[in-house]
């Protein structure tokens, strides 16, 4: 049975001043993380000692319409945006989840994908625990609730000692936030502050949008507790080699975020630069596959000394492609999304830079559009290696069949997308551009080497 793969964003805020309402910050924080999940959003907040939840399907401003209507206030709020690849768009699966446990009310919001969820699920149901969703967030919450005789912190430590895979979650009880990243730090999570308000976010960009200061990234395996006594940090899991998802750098994160101390935009420029060094080429112009290829394209154009221009215009009234649930929507959307600018392209040799190729459909259509726009020759430059292997940690690419590079060679892909030239960044170039070794990052999608056992 297929588990729900999740790409998600978390934003939480806690004010030391019990009278201060942090709902607007969480609303805006979620809005800033909207690119991490467009399918559903939810907010849990502490209200008179118990936890209330507001949830809905759609973008933040749609999904949280109820919270706009009722205007609850709270100094302790946990929010989540979500995208799922499966068809289960039910409100039942929308986070945060709230559990009524021996530790009182607990809410959870999680990002990432466990790879031993089947076992965990079986253990829990066999011992008679009721599970009501197919999400990892509920599994983690149920695993904590199971440890009813331990104190909260021990209950968490004990629970996550059983979980394998990628997770970054924030728990909220009636006093504290507990934020934890898996021992390899596969999914990002960081802490910010604005005066009396502590904030936890999947990405640092949300702090900027809220006017807050970026304090630190939570370390892999680190548990951060935030409550009236301030912030407490402690390692609760034996740390392993770090394995931040490389796809966060390549595509998922916003360019204005900082991950593992590095600027996402700068890394993307570096990827383009590296690609230029590896595969020099002359051309009339360099352009980006809108919009995710722009940073890399700028790096490549500068490296090769070629002019950068805009060859395709994107209708700003559509969202981005990769993250939508079903294949069909993806295809229809593109038709209206991009238009070639013929005067730019006419009779030109063009280098089209994209961040990655996953399914290949977008590339094929984009190349076709460029030719319709008059381009004489189209070289497709991908600022990452071939995406050959499924991701089990949360990127919507669990099925090898969906991955064009899984079954086709570079030359076959070139033909499939209709390009004159196709080049990928090498795996070494990827590490070089990011400034890490293969042991310091998860690049399982490219290398097939996963940082954990996979037991799905």
- Report d(CA 424, CA 410) in Å as an integer: 9
- Report d(CA 184, CA 51) in Å as an integer: 31
Near its own copies by CB under 8 A: residue from 36, 82, 134, 365: 134
Near its own copies by CB under 8 A: residue from 67, 83, 98, 378: 98
List C-alpha distances in Å: 387 to 56, 87, 125.
33, 23, 36
Strand pairing partners for 99? 106
Site for its own copies in 251-290 (CB under 8 A): 254-256, 258, 263, 265-266, 269
Residue 245 carries which DSSP code? Answer: E
Rule CB under 8 A: say whether 195 interacts with its own copies: no
Task: Tell me the closest approach of the beta carbon of residue 145 to its own copies, in angstroms.
Answer: 4
| CB closer to its own copies out of 91 and 195 | 91
Paired tokens of 318: 């559509």
Near its own copies by CB under 8 A: residue from 18, 68, 73, 92: 92
Q: CB atoms < 10 A from the CB of 333, how many?
A: 17
List C-alpha distances in Å: 52 to 17, 58, 89, 136, 300.
19, 20, 22, 21, 49
Site string for its own copies, 306-345 (x = CB under 8 A): -xxxx--x-xxx-xx--------------xx--xxxxxx-
Q: Which of 8, 210, 391, 442 is catalytic?
A: 8
**Are 189 and 202 within 8 A, CB to CB?**
yes
Task: Tell me the closest approach of the beta carbon of residue 98 to its own copies, in angstroms.
Answer: 6
Number of residues interacting with its own copies: please give it, by CB under 8 A.
75
Task: Tell me the closest approach of the beta carbon of residue 428 to its own copies, in angstroms.
Answer: 24
**Are 387 and 425 within 8 A, CB to CB?**
no
| CB closer to its own copies out of 306 and 358 | 306
Cis peptide before 96 (omega within 30 of 0): yes
**Are 274 and 268 within 8 A, CB to CB?**
no
Name the segment binding its own copies (CB under 8 A); options: 99-107, 162-170, 394-402, 428-436: 99-107
Q: CB atoms < 10 A from the CB of 7, how many?
A: 25
Site for its own copies in 347-366 (CB under 8 A): none
Phi, psi of 252 (to 5 degrees): -70, -50
Site for its own copies in 13-32 (CB under 8 A): 28, 31-32
Name the segment binding its own copies (CB under 8 A); options: 110-118, 132-140, 193-201, 412-420: 132-140
Q: Determine the Cα angle at 379 with ends 376 and 380, to 5°.
A: 135
| CB closer to its own copies out of 307 and 448 | 307
Q: Determine the Cα angle at 257 with ends 251 and 261, to 5°.
A: 105
Task: Tell me the closest approach of the beta carbon of residue 129 to its own copies, in angstroms.
Answer: 5
Task: Tell me the closest approach of the beta carbon of residue 373 to its own copies, in angstroms.
Answer: 8
Rule CB under 8 A: say whether 125 interacts with its own copies: yes
Near its own copies by CB under 8 A: residue from 34, 119, 227, 361: 34
Would you call 8 a catalytic residue per the annotation?
yes
Residue 250 carries which DSSP code? Answer: I
The full DSSP string for 143-164 is: HHHH-TTS-HHHHHHHHHTS--
Site for its own copies in 387-446 (CB under 8 A): none
| CB closer to its own copies out of 171 and 404 | 171
Nearest CA among 243, 255, 225, 260 for reference residue 453 = 243
Site for its own copies in 53-72 (CB under 8 A): 53-55, 59-60
Rule CB under 8 A: say whether 133 interacts with its own copies: yes
Site for its own copies in 139-168 (CB under 8 A): 141-142, 145-148
Q: Which residues are known catalytic residues?
A: 8
């Amino acid at each position: 049975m297929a588990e729900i793969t999740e790409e998600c964003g978390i934003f939480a805020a806690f004010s030391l001043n019990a009278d201060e309402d942090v709902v607007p910050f969480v609303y805006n924080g979620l809005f800033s993380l909207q690119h991490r999940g467009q399918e559903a959003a939810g907010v849990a907040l502490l209200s008179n000692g118990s936890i209330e939840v507001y949830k809905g399907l759609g973008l933040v401003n749609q999904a949280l319409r109820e919270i706009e209507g009722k205007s609850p206030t709270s100094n302790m709020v946990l929010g989540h945006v979500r995208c799922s690849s499966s068809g289960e768009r039910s409100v039942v699966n929308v986070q945060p989840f709230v559990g009524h446990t021996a530790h009182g009310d607990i809410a959870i919001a999680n990002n990432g994908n466990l790879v031993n969820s089947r076992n965990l699920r079986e253990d829990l149901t066999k011992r008679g625990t009721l599970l009501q969703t197919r999400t990892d967030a509920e599994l983690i919450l149920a695993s904590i609730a199971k440890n009813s005789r331990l104190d909260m912190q021990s209950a968490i430590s004990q629970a996550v000692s059983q979980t394998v895979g990628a997770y970054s979650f924030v728990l909220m009880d009636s006093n504290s936030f507990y934020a934890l990243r898996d021992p390899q730090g596969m999914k990002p999570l960081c802490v910010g502050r604005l005066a009396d308000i502590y904030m936890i976010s999947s990405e640092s960009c949300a702090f900027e949008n809220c006017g807050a200061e970026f304090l630190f990234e939570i370390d892999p395996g680190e548990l951060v507790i935030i409550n009236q006594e301030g912030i407490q940090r402690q390692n609760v899991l034996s740390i392993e080699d770090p394995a931040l998802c490389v796809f966060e750098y390549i595509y998922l994160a916003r360019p204005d975020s900082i991950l593992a101390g590095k600027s996402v935009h700068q890394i993307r420029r570096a990827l383009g630069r590296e690609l230029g060094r590896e595969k020099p080429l002359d051309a009339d112009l360099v352009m980006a596959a809108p919009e995710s290829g722009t940073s890399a394209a700028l790096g490549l154009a500068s490296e090769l000394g070629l002019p950068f221009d805009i060859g395709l215009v994107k209708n700003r009234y559509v969202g981005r492609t990769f993250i939508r649930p079903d294949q069909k929507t993806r295809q229809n959307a593109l038709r209206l999304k991009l238009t070639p600018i013929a005067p730019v392209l006419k009779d030109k040799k063009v280098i089209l830079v994209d961040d990655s190729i996953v399914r290949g459909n977008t590339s094929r259509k984009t190349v076709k559009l460029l030719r319709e726009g008059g381009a004489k020759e189209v070289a497709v430059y991908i600022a990452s290696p071939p995406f050959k292997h499924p991701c089990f940690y949360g990127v919507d690419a669990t099925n090898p069949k969906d991955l064009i590079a899984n079954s086709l060679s570079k030359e076959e892909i070139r033909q499939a997308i209709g390009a004159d030239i196709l080049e990928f960044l090498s795996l070494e170039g990827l590490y070089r551009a990011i400034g890490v070794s293969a042991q310091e990052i998860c690049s399982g999608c490219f290398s097939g080497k996963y940082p954990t056992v996979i037991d799905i």
